[in-house]
Structure 1
Amino acid sequence: MAGHDMSNMTTDITPTMEAVGPDETGTDQTLQSRSRLWQGIFWGALLAFLAAAPFFLYPVFVMQLLCFALFAAAFNLLIGFTGLLSFGHAAFFGGAAYVAGHALKVWGFPPLLGLAAGTLFAAALGWLVGSLAIRRQGIYFAMITLALAQIVYFFALQMPFTGGEDGLQGVPRGHLLGLISLNAPLAMYYFVAGVFLVAFLMIYRIIHSPFGQVLQAIRENEPRALSLGYNVDRFKLLAFVLSAALAGLAGSTKALVFQFASLTDAHWQMSGEVILMTLLGGMGTIFGPVVGAFIVVALQHALSGIGSWVQVVIGGTFIACVLLFRRGVVGELARILRINSL
């Protein structure tokens, strides 16, 4: 009887499992297909915008937008996909701008080597800051990054090669590969667009790699990731260094575009702005930081005539987005479209 009962139970359960399994699999495949479709649409729109932007928008404005979009995307790699909130990312953005500007102006580096110098400096600084900061979590981690960033700001103010309050001015753009003059607006624009696209593709690849999946596991449940055998601190440090290096690339590119580096680039307010951009666009999304950077930079340009009141408008916009779009603009769009990520 016992064997007969167990046989009946197995017979009863099996059809149910077979009915549920394929439906769940089909649903997952549908969501993945829909996500890939919409990501493809966004990629197409982004590429079309990059190709056509200098012909209907002021090129310098678009280059500034791309620099901040890369900065926000680099920051999002840390907070959105690793769960680490840094209040000191301006140190990497501004520090790299000074190093790249000095390398281009004083050492005579060509553009690519100048950007590489700034990026490597930001990566080294990120390793130093990250090695100290990851010893703590939460608000303590954020406060350590802010304190160390203020030290960098102090050095930027006091070091003789930075120009102090006047900033590092007269940074030459030079010639790309010794052939193409970057003083030509279109040449400079497409160079910046290329740098942004390569770096953004790198971030996209990191997110969708096994390494990126581990980072997201750490964000969701750090003790469980630790119990699975992952060296959590090492993954955090590597994510911090990558985020710092990409933020440094953004700062170096901005110094090349505007031909100067200023204290504003290393000020704590810059760290606040990149947090704002990321939250407005959608933390933990792929394209959210780009959209958030566009909103903030566009508002700053459009409302520049009202002076410091532009900060009030941006603050009001942020409050409205937090109340109405809790996941950010792109995050809410992904929810409306019923897709996993965008």
Structure 2
Amino acid sequence: MRLPEERTTGAMPGYHIAIFALLLGLALIAPFFLYPVFLMKVMCFALFACALNLLLGFGGLLSFGHAAFFGGAAYVSAHAAKVWGLTPEVAIILGTLSGALLGLVIGSFAIRRQGIYFAMVTLAFAQMVYFAALQMPFTGGEDGIQNVPRGDLFGVISLNSDMSLYFMVLAIVFGGLLAIYRIIHSPFGQVLKAIRENEPRAISLGYRVNNYKLTVFVLSAALAGLAGATKAIVFQLASLTDVHWSMSGEAVLMTLIGGMGTVFGPLVGAAIIVTMQNYLASLGAWVTIIQGFIFVIAVLLFREGVVGLIAKRLRRPL
């Protein structure tokens, strides 16, 4: 049984306002109890997963190449901050724009195919980006770009303190989440859902389906780039790990565990995966095995994901 769709117009539902307020409240007090760098990592990957979910959960397009936008933006942001000496906000904007541009190029080819062929095209392009990151001189090869300066926000506020950087990241991620929410609940988002459910019918109604697909692909790539660029400033590093195909797989895993096609699901999925990676790091390769086991359990017992299952029980879209 499908959950009822929300209205495309009007104010945000009260319970969604309450959820956003709760998330913001928890995020504001969290760094006083938990390690800020860990929290920033969760937020960056949460935005990355939400960006993929915009394409997969609401556009019905499975991409195995989102690491190209995430990692590509990380390299651009890191290079802009370290070599060009730009302020962090400008470096992040440049990284985001590079993700959008890369999304436009890759999406122009990928949308010509459907299903598994679409996924394979995105994976192939992502591997090209990985090879470029390995070979191009400005990326640092296997060493990556290290010791990226955090700089001063707007040239005034020093980000060398984890706490000051945390609140900048919080503003970026929360703003990105609100932007995704607005996209989903706009007329554009409703057309995306129609294309996802029945593309031939959407075509028969006169919608230019490929234009919508390309637009959502670019938006998703830009948001993934925003997450990657922010992550590069936080960890002062851009490396081959950021553009590796496994990074795309992690984003898919976060989305599925949290709840594909939900607004808040990828946030929960990212928190679960990053927490596992952080606190089970001492187990080495067993972390991957445990992740696989949890993924199998999630698929078998609650295919809708954690938040998807809650939404189904409450009979309210989350």
Same fold (TM over 0.5): yes
- The AA in structure 1 aligned to 2:235 is F
1:252 aligns with 2:229: yes
CA distance in 2, matches of 1:158, 1:28: 47
Give the alignment partner of residue 191 of structure 2, picking from 195, 204, 214: 214
What do residues 176-223 of structure 1 show as CA deviations (whole Å, max 9, x unaligned)?
Answer: 111100001110000000000111100000000111111111101111
- Matching residue of 2:140: 163
* SS across alignment from 1:88: coil
- The AA in structure 2 aligned to 1:52 is I
Q: What's the offset of the Cα at 1:324?
A: 1.3
Question: Matched residue pairs, number?
Answer: 312
Give the alignment partner of residue 326 of structure 1, picking from 295, 303, 313: 303
What do residues 229-275 of structure 1 show as CA deviations (whole Å, max 9, x unaligned)?
Answer: 11100000000000000000000000000001010000000000000
Give the alignment partner of residue 196 of structure 1, picking from 173, 183, 191: 173
Q: What's the offset of the Cα at 1:37?
A: 4.0
Q: What residue ranges of structure 2 are gaps of 5+ in the alignment?
A: none
Alignment of 1:30-109 (within 5 A): 36-109=13-86
- Matching residue of 1:232: 209
TM-score, normalised on structure 1?
Answer: 0.89
- Matching residue of 1:129: 106
What do residues 131-181 of structure 1 show as CA deviations (whole Å, max 9, x unaligned)?
Answer: 000011000000000000000000000011111111110111110111100
- Matching residue of 2:244: 267
Structure with the bigger percentage of helix: 1
CA distance in 1, matches of 2:40, 2:100: 23
The structure whose Rg is larger is 1
CA distance in 2, matches of 1:285, 1:111: 31
Give the alignment partner of residue 88 of structure 2, picking from 107, 111, 116: 111
- The AA in structure 2 aligned to 1:280 is I
- The AA in structure 1 aligned to 2:125 is L
Q: What's the offset of the Cα at 1:41?
A: 3.2
CA distance in 1, matches of 2:66, 2:100: 12
CA distance in 1, matches of 2:34, 2:45: 17
CA distance in 2, matches of 1:218, 1:182: 43
What do residues 21-42 of structure 1 show as CA deviations (whole Å, max 9, x unaligned)?
Answer: xxxxxx999xx9xx93432332
1:187 aligns with 2:156: no
RMSD over aligned Cα atoms:
1.6
Q: What residue ranges of structure 1 are gaps of 5+ in the alignment?
A: 1-26
Q: What's the offset of the Cα at 1:227?
A: 0.9
